[in-house]
Structure 1
Amino acid sequence: MDETPAVTALRGVLADAFDRVAERVAGVAADLSIADAVWRPDPEANSIAWLLWHLTRVQDDHVADLAGTEQVWTSEGFVDRFGLPFPPDAHGYGHTSEDVGQVRVAPAELVEYHRAVRAATDRYLATVTAAELERVVDTSWDPPVTAAVRLVSVIDDCAEHIGQAAYVKGLLERRA
C-alpha cells in the first residue's frame, strides 16, 4: 500500500470530514420524535428524516461504488427495515414532494444506518492509495471525475444536506 505522508494525511482529512458529518447527523437526530423528523416547514420542503436518509444513501451509494462493494443499504438489511416504497437503488435524486413525505423513519434508525455507512466508508478509506485517488470513476464529465473528486463531492453533498436538516430542526424548535 502507498503510505506516503501525503496520502496518509489525505486519508486523515477525508476521515475527519466524514466524522464531522456523522457527528452532525447524530446531533440533528437527537431528541427527535418521528413526528418531528417528518415535519416540513411547508408541503414542498424536505423533512429532517428525508434529508438524513438522502445524505446517507448518497454516501452509501457513492462510496460502495468506489470500493466495489455492495451498499450497506442492502447488505445490512436497512432497505427491508426501513420499508420505504422505493426501488432498492433509490437515493433521493429526483424525488418528488410526495416521495419526500413517504420517508417516515425513526431518527434512531437513521443514525444507525448512517453509522453503518460511516464504518463502510472507513473500510474504504483505509485502502486508499495515490493511484486510487487518481483513478477515473466517471468519464461523462469534463474533466473526468476521479475517486478523489467523487469523495469531495460526497462530503460536499453531505455537508449541504446536514446543514439543511439543522436549519429545519431550528425552525421546528422555534415553532414550539
Structure 2
Amino acid sequence: MTVTPTTASAELLVDAFGRIRETVHDAVDGLSPDELEVRIDDGANSIAWLVWHLTRIQDDHVADAAGTEQVWTAQGWYGRFGLPFRPDATGYGHSAKDVARLGGVTAELLSEYHDAVHDRTVAYLGTLADADLGRIVDEAWTPAVTLGVRLVSVISDDLQHAGQAAFVRGWLERP
C-alpha cells in the first residue's frame, strides 16, 4: 500500500512499520509449516507463533487506537487460520503449551495476514496529525498512555519478536 504521510511523525512511523514488515517476510518466506513450528526447546516460541503474535498485537492495538474492528475478525483471518484460540486472543499471556497449539499455518498465510494489518496500519497513520500523537488512548497506566507512546510500544514489541523469528530461522538454516 502506498501512503503519503502528511507529517514527519507519520512518515517516521510508516518507515518503522515497513521495517517490521520486511523482517517478517524475511523470517517466514520459503519455510514449510513444519519449519515454522520448530521450537528451539519446549519453552521457546516458534517462528509461526512469534509472527502471528506480533501481528495480532499490532492489529489489536492499532484497531483500538483507530476505533475500528480488527483485521483479524473484520476480514475473516480468524476463520482462515482455524486456530484453537478465542477470536480475541493475541498471544499475550500464552503458555508454552499454547505456543505449541499454534500449528499448520503457512508462510503465505502469515505474510498475507501481516500485510493486511500493515496496510490498515499505514492507512491509519496517513490520517494522523502530530497533535494526534498526544491523545490519551489508555488510562489504565500511570502515566496514561498516549497514541504516540502506544505506537512506539507496538513498534518495539514487533521488532523484538520479528528479530526473535529471524534468529530462529537462522538457527534452522545452520549446517
Normalising to structure 1: TM-score of the pair? Answer: 0.94
Q: How far apart, in 2, do the equivalents of 1:150 and 1:83 lie?
A: 29
Q: CA deviation at 1:102?
A: 1.4
For 1:119, the equivalent position in structure 2 comes to 119
For 2:92, the equivalent position in structure 1 comes to 93
Normalising to structure 2: TM-score of the pair? Answer: 0.94
For 1:140, the equivalent position in structure 2 comes to 140
Q: How far apart, in 1, do the equivalents of 2:27 and 2:41 lie?
A: 19
Gapped regions of structure 2 (runs ≥ 5): none
Q: Which runs of 4+ in 1 moved over 3 A?
A: none
Bigger drift between 165-174 and 153-162 goes to 165-174
For 2:22, the equivalent position in structure 1 comes to 23
Q: How far apart, in 1, do the equivalents of 2:16 and 2:171 lie?
A: 26
Q: SS of 2:137's equivalent?
A: strand
Q: SS of 1:121's equivalent?
A: helix
2:79 is the alignment partner of 1:107: no
Q: How far apart, in 2, do the equivalents of 1:48 and 1:91 lie?
A: 15
Q: CA deviation at 1:130?
A: 2.7
* Native 8 Å contact 2:46 2:99 kept in 1: yes
Give the partner amino acid of 1:135.
Answer: R
For 1:150, the equivalent position in structure 2 comes to 150
Equivalenced residue count is: 170
Give the partner amino acid of 2:122.
Answer: D
Percent identity over the alignment? 56
Q: CA deviation at 1:108?
A: 0.9
- RMSD in angstroms over aligned alpha carbons? 1.2
For 1:45, the equivalent position in structure 2 comes to 44
Q: How far apart, in 2, do the equivalents of 1:68 and 1:142 lie?
A: 22
Q: Deviation digits for residues 23-60 of structure 1, max 9, x if unmatched?
A: 11111111100010000111111000000000000000
For 2:9, the equivalent position in structure 1 comes to 10
Q: CA deviation at 1:123?
A: 1.4
